[in-house]
Amino acid sequence: MERVLGIGGYFLRATDPEALTAWYRDCLGLDTDEHGLWHQDPGPTVFAAFEPKTDYFGSPTQQTMLNFRVRDLDAMLTQLRAKGADVSDETQDMEGVGRFGWVTDPEGNRLELWQPAD
């Protein structure tokens, strides 16, 4: 059986694509080239389906949630708050999995930030 190799892209609708791309670059350090190509660090990726009525993604109209791996969750959340980002006050620790926090981008998309367990 042929298998996929990994996530090849994640695409967002945006009222202002240039501004949203700049937010991801300036707030999260996601540097892409003119085609949106980004070389990420190797590491785990989670693919999971959720029940249709989950509130985990924030807005009930949000069908997917992007999760970014981070080295230091506290430092990333502090950086985002300093840039005026909409950061949740809540964090979550899952033993053996890691720590999680959330931020909402300027277009209203809730993102999860994950510091994997050592």
Per residue in 56-110, pLDDT tens?
Answer: 998 899 999 999 999 999 999 999 999 999 999 999 999 999 999 999 999 999 9
Task: Give 91's contacts (C-beta < 8 A, 6+ positions apart).
Answer: 73, 77, 99, 100, 101
Structure tokens at 1: 């059986």
pTM of the model: 0.91
- Asked whether residue 13 carries a pLDDT value surpassing 90, the answer given is yes
What integer is the mean pLDDT of 14-25? 96
Place of tokens 């989950």: 54
What integer is the mean pLDDT of 3-25? 93
- Asked whether residue 5 carries a pLDDT value surpassing 90, the answer given is no
What single-letter DSSP state applies at residue 40?
Answer: P
Exposure pattern of 75-102 as b/e (b: 16+ CB <10 Å)? Answer: ebbebbeeeebebbeeeeeeeeebbbbb
Question: What distance lies between CA 33 and its chain's CA centroid?
Answer: 19
User: Which helix H or strand E contains 78, and what residues bound it?
Assistant: helix 73-82
- Asked whether residue 6 carries a pLDDT value surpassing 90, the answer given is no
pLDDT digits (tens, 9 = 90+) for 21-38: 999 999 999 999 999 999
Q: Which CATH class is domain 17-116?
A: alpha beta
